[in-house]
Amino acid sequence: MSIRLGVNIDHVATIRNARGGEHPDPVRAARQASEAGADGITAHLREDRRHITDTDIDRLMAEIDLPLNLEMAATPEMLDIALRHKPHAVCLVPEKREERTTEGGLDVAAGHNVIAPYVRQLGEAGCRVSLFIEPDPVQIAVAEAMGAAVVELHTGAYCEAFLAGDTAKVEHHLKRLQAASTIAHERGLEVHAGHGLTYDTVKPIAAIPEVIELNIGHFLIGEAIFRGLREAVGTMRGLIEEARAGQDS
């Protein structure tokens, strides 16, 4: 199967909001990502609007040709926004006000009764619903039971182990991701992955045959400071394709 790259532009908005005004423009970043080979744009509209804003979502829907993957918490406010815009995809994620970034997967097993109505309503509106979960068979089974079309597997623990230089943990977490991808695929779920991926960590994930989309943001925006966004995205696109070609050969 082919593999797609979704580029998360949240942290372009983070830089803009640090000073206020309109620069740098996340919509401009989305255009450059598209020119560099991105297959989709991801944006997380947080309840506290710490980076992406409602106006950004309005503009992304109106001005960008690529599919928009709207990341959001399962709250009535966010549901109303998603149903109004009807983006191509909606990824339900956990969200805590005090966290710097998403700290783990959504516990869909514990939150089944709360989350299931969101999955149903978004699906009925024509959105492709994704659940951002840990690579755990129970979470995958509940995601399927809810009727989600997609699971996005949280790669954060794998990436953190790599940064710590813990080879054993890297292998452990990679095996979990591989096994979870197989299970999800066998259950008829589309498999995505993301969180914390870099040039150094992306290839083993891209080589997992069942994974057909990677969503990457913070690293690419940081790398763009040094080499420009088009080159940063293009390099990531090349590494993903190399990994996939090696897996297919």
- Report the catalytic residues: 44, 71, 195
How is residue 82 written in tokens?
């998603």
% helix, strand, coil for the chain, step of 5: 50, 15, 35
Rounded Cα distance, 136 and 97, in Å: 25
H or E element that contains 131: strand 128-133
Give bridge partners of residue 194 from the DSSP assignment: 154, 215
Q: Is the dihedral of CA 189, 194, 200, 201 positive or negative?
A: negative
| Chain centroid offset of residue 217 CA | 8
Helices and strands counted in the chain (H then E): 11, 8
Residues 6 or more apart in contact with residue 158 via CB below 8 angstroms: 170, 173, 174, 177, 196, 201, 205
Cα-only R_g, the chain? 17
Look-up of token digits 């309840």: 47
